[in-house]
Amino acid sequence: MSKTPELAPAKNHIEAGNYARAKRLIERTLKLGADNSEALQLLGNIEVFRGRPSLAIPHFRKSLDLDDSRANVWASLGWCYQTLRKTGQAVKAFKKALALEAGHYEARAGLGATLIPLGKAKEAQGHLEAAIALSDKNLEPYRLLAAFTSKGKEKAFLRGMLDLEKRCEKYPVSEQVQLTFALVSAFDKQGDKENFLKSMEKANALQRRSAPDWYPPNKAMCDLSREVFTAEFCKKTNPHGLKMITPILIVGMPRAGASLVEQILASHGEIFGGDELPLIRQIVVEEPMQGRQDIYPAFVPELSDEELSAMAVRYQAKVVSLAGQHGYITDKMPGNEYFLGMIHKIMPWAKVIHIRRHPCDTALSIYSRYFDGSLPFTSNLTSLAKYFCLSHTYMEHWKAVLPGFALDIKYEDLVADIGATTRKMLKFCGLEWDPACLEYYRNKRPVYTHSATQVRQKIYTSSIGRWQDYKKTLQPFISGIEDIIEAYGYSRPATRG
């Protein structure tokens, strides 16, 4: 491996966050004609630190072309593939790193995390346990492992976490959150309600430290959407829309059952499970806003038929590249219910399934789980109630101006009679019955949400009504939604007395 004095200052700039300067120094080194695997690795690291894994991959691959014996580079490549949800390539990269260095912490932890969406819980557990044995510099492996630690190891695992919690203040808050949510899962599995509640409150208090004030802009967009997307305006759909594929948008609150619905539908021979696709917001909000003064959806009435057609084509082209020969693709990105008016305008043939679950069961499930910050309302029960009300307001408006565009499904009905509810969903989508839908738990497709292990199990009812044991804790949420809970389709909870 070639060495050059240019790399030392470049590394210093990277450490200081001066990525542009570091990149110039590294590129100058490479222009001198020296094939330098380390220099290419540093370019990849810069893109990783900038949050651009897709741009980092070519640098790591070139680095490995020059020297494929570097475990660090294989591990970094694996992380990029994992982030981009290219699980097969991620697994190969992590395994290559471990073949070179069996004690490589990042590769061991990364491989464990990557195997969870593939349903390989036992194998994932082994790698996560090995990562924890190697180091406790990162605490995410504890949270991931807590979800499926095998019986016989639970008590020892919990003792280890409690010991680590005593030293937890030396870690950044982001890492403390990981461990505390791991304790939430562990105490829940033990049936220790008192410590489950204590850890849940502590974990969310830590998470709230970095939660932004998301409500004002979202409430403003909701109010504006109802002004723009009137019944008359919604009748005027794109006359030039080109149908390439039928998206099935699964909307509703997080933890309401969207992953289960998707797993069932994705087991149908004509449906590809697309998971959470960050495309709708990008195509109908972010891209059209470039160069405009107005915010979404104020500019929507100004859009030409050609612009609307281009949006539909861009979305469909991206999902067709995922779905291959399938005629349908699911998209269950949280928040897509905000944009159903626009979706109908550009793709009136799209199908929308709105999954509902008892609000209090939903709230408990959300509040007891870790979210990475992309859903800032999850760590505060009052904030969660506001989000619930906003989501409900959107759906009530769409039902009024777009009758029949969305199908309402109750999680409890799905669990009570999976066959009848699945037939109802397939009929709504214009599809024939496929018995594979009833064996959804055999589907090996990757699942990236908290439900990765749950959707590989047969239907169970143990989570229904669980909130009743935690009424007092959930009171801030209940107070915020009790005026609409009956309109949502559930009985008003008796919480006092």
Maximum distance among all Cα pairs of the chain, rounded to whole angstroms: 78
Task: Report the top-level CATH class of 7-160.
Answer: mainly alpha
Each residue's pLDDT tens digit, 432-475: 999 999 999 898 888 887 777 777 788 888 889 999 999 999 99
The CATH fold of domain 215-481 = Rossmann fold (3.40.50)
* Residues listed for the chain: 497
Each residue's pLDDT tens digit, 327-340: 999 999 999 999 99
Orientation angle between helical segments 37-49 and 19-31, nearest 10 degrees: 160
Each residue's pLDDT tens digit, 363-414: 999 999 999 888 999 999 999 999 999 999 999 999 999 999 999 999 999 9
Q: Boundaries of CATH 1.25.40.10 in the chain?
A: 7-160
Q: Boundaries of CATH 3.40.50.300 in the chain?
A: 215-481
Q: Hey, what are 482's tokens?
A: 């009790």
Each residue's pLDDT tens digit, 14-64: 999 999 999 999 998 888 766 789 999 999 999 999 999 999 999 999 999
Q: For the stretch 447-476, what's the b/e string if a residue is b when 16 or more beta carbons lie within 10 angstroms of its beta carbon?
A: bebbbbebbbeeeeeebeeebeebeebbee
Distances (CA, A) of 63 to 11, 29, 80, 102: 16, 14, 14, 21
